[in-house]
Structure 1
Amino acid sequence: MPDGMNPTPSGTLLAFDFGTRRIGIAVGSTFSGTARPLATIDDEKNETRFAAIAALLAEWQPAALVVGLPCNDDGTPHELTALCRRFANRLKGRFNLPTLLVDERYTSAAASSALDEAGIHGRKQKPLIDQYAAQQILQAYFDEPSAGIYA
């Protein structure tokens, strides 16, 4: 939660929907309070993933990073919870940017609904679903900044 030691970031933010196979990325601005899908990194190699992330950071110059934290419906840790925390800590350590964790429950379902509304259905959603989930994560943070916890 942002406090005196960690003020709420302002400016451009990048959000990540971490997965063991793919990482979805969204971009948004605290000034407009809106997020949009940006990219999907479809590679399991950390070296490739972090190189792609470094390129996006160089391009967008974000003030902070937001990482979705998966939990079960009842709020208990999910099988990916620890991996997402580790990913957030690696981002923070490697890029020296404030990194926040945001509950990502239901973001994949919301992303799928958004794609359905855009006329993208079934298997055609696969290459886009992660970046749309990242958009949902970032939008959730914009809608409720106090829900973000620093990694």
Structure 2
Amino acid sequence: MKTKLSVLGLDIGKKRIGIAGCDGTGLIATPIMTLERTGFTDDVEQLIDLIAKREVTLLVIGMPYAMNGELGHQGKRIEKYAQRLQKVLKLPMEYVDERLSSIEAEARLKTKRGFSPRRDKAQIDAHAAAIILQQWLNQRRTPTNNQLNQQPSNIE
């Protein structure tokens, strides 16, 4: 029997943290909420409540690499913040390249009637977190070339 998967995806920004979760099978990521950041302690308290309610076992953090693939100033800040979170929450974390996730989230949301990028920034952040988490879920399901080579052959 497969164990239920409970993972949160986080899109960490200066003002907000977009949060997404996945279904128990690990197929679909959906936006959950956006935390308005007021301070590290408050952020942690809100995350602890959500983690307990959802029985979360892993956090997936969006890492904003520069277009050249390097970790810039913002990426280093998020990495430091994530390390602080990990010390307090004591949950394993994985990082996912989040380049352009907010732009993709905004593009998807623009199709919704009444959506305003200026007014609905929190919605963009939660959807960006869902894109980050979905990317991680998809990577988990896609076997690597090495795994493909290790599969038993049906050819005799």
The TM-score, its normalising length taken from structure 2, stands at 0.81
Cα separation, 2, equivalents of 1:61 and 1:78: 33
Cα separation, 2, equivalents of 1:106 and 1:89: 23
Name the SS of the counterpart of 2:9 in structure 1.
Answer: strand
Name the SS of the counterpart of 2:73 in structure 1.
Answer: coil
8 Å CA contact 1:107–1:133 kept in 2: the answer is yes
Cα separation, 2, equivalents of 1:131 and 1:16: 8
The TM-score, its normalising length taken from structure 1, stands at 0.83
Comparing 27-36 with 72-81, greater Cα deviation is found at 27-36
Tell me which stretches of 4 or more aligned residues in structure 1 moved more than 6 Å. none
Per-residue deviation, 1:109: 0.8
Match of 1:3 in 2: none
Match of 1:94 in 2: 88
Deviations 1:25-81 (A, max 9, x none): 111136141101111111231111111111111111112110000011121112211
Match of 1:123 in 2: 118
In the alignment, structure 1 residue 74 sits paired with structure 2 residue 74: no
Per-residue deviation, 1:90: 2.0
Match of 1:65 in 2: 59
Per-residue deviation, 1:111: 0.6
8 Å CA contact 1:24–1:39 kept in 2: the answer is yes
Deviations 1:63-107 (A, max 9, x none): 211000001112111221111112222222211111111100010
Aligned residues: 139
Which of 24, 45, 51 aligns to 1:51? It is 45
Cα separation, 2, equivalents of 1:41 and 1:14: 13
Identical pairs, percent: 28
Instruction: Show structure 2 runs of 5+ residues with no match.
Output: 143-156
Match of 1:28 in 2: 22
RMSD: 2.0
